[in-house]
Amino acid sequence: MIHAEISIYPIATKTTSASFYIAKAIESIQKIENLTYEINSMGTVLESDDMDVINKATKQMTETVHNLGIGRVEVVIKIDSRRDKHLKMHEKIESIKKHLD
């Protein structure tokens, strides 16, 4: 299973808020097959068993922001590719929670 956390930063927007651009980027990946995602306050976590799907989503999100008139987009992506276990996002979180007091 592959998990990727992606953060998109549109550069030189008219305001300091990026939420509009991020929302449009997320909308652009909603219909990609074999992709699950979860948003958080610092980025979006993508989940798939296919790296090509992760790459497609990353490209689509970036292109969507460019197509909204943003000439420069910074993208930070962190990838966890694991083949020894097939864990979903929520299972990884549950594994951590059981160690919390």
For residue 18, the model assigns a pLDDT of 94
Domains of the chain, first to last:
2-97 (3.30.70.930)
Residues in the chain, pLDDT under 50: none
Tell me the backbone φ, ψ of residue 40, rounded to 5 degrees.
Answer: -140, 180
Which secondary structure element, helix H or strand E, spans residue 4, and what is its range?
Answer: strand 2-11
Closest to 43 measured CA to CA, from 68, 29, 26, 67: 26
pLDDT at 33: 98
Query: With a threshold of 0.85, does the pTM exceed it?
Result: yes
8, burial (CB in 10 Å: exposed 0-12, middle 13-18, buried 19+):
buried
pLDDT at position 65 is 98
- What digits encode the pLDDT tens for the residues 24-48? 999 999 999 999 999 999 999 999 9
Which long-range CB contacts under 8 A does 11-15 form with residues at least 24 apart? 11/70, 11/71, 11/72, 11/73, 11/74, 12/70, 12/71, 12/72, 13/70
